[in-house]
Amino acid sequence: MTVAEEQHRRVAQERRNRWLERGAVARAHGVPVRCGGMLETGIGRAPNLALAALPGFTLPGDASASSRYFAEDVTEPFVLQDGRLPVPRTPGIGTEPLPDALRRFRGARRDLYGGAAGRGR
């Protein structure tokens, strides 16, 4: 794992922990909570679904099937089952990016560290 990937993982973990704390505080005070995420790719949609499935998240969110927002996603598509999105059950964020889709959709690539791309630091 590169330094940049590790830093991103830490930021994502801190963000998730803040939402878990906020949800717990709201639940303790009887305040209903909603998790949005309408225009997330599958990379963001998977953890949003896991968060929205937690106790206290009782207001309807706006996550839907991938095809509602994208002709093609960067992960396997999320598909409604009986009008609901299943919560991913795999470790990590619950889905994996599709490398070919990432290559097609990414914009210009820059090396932020001045060395060979993909070298890690």
User: pLDDT tens for residues 52-97?
Assistant: 888 888 888 888 999 998 999 999 999 999 998 999 998 888 899 9
Please give the share of the chain, as a percent, with pLDDT higher than 90.
22
Q: What are the pLDDT digits (tens) for 23-57?
A: 788 888 888 888 877 788 898 899 889 888 888 88
Full-model pTM: 0.69
Tokens describing residue 26 = 């709201």
Sequential DSSP letters for 66-110: HHHH-SS-SBSPP--BTTBPPPP-SSTTS--B-HHHHHHH-----
**Structural domain boundaries in the chain:** 3-105
Q: What does the alpha-carbon distance between residue 54 and residue 64 come to, in Å, rounded to a whole number?
A: 17
Token digits for 62?
């706006």
Interior CA angle at 88 toward 46 and 57, to 5°?
70
Phi/psi of residue 119, each to 5°?
Answer: -70, -30
Nearest to 16 by CA among 49, 42, 41: 49
For residue 34, which amino acid is it?
R
The domain at 3-105 falls in which architecture?
Alpha-Beta Barrel (3.20)
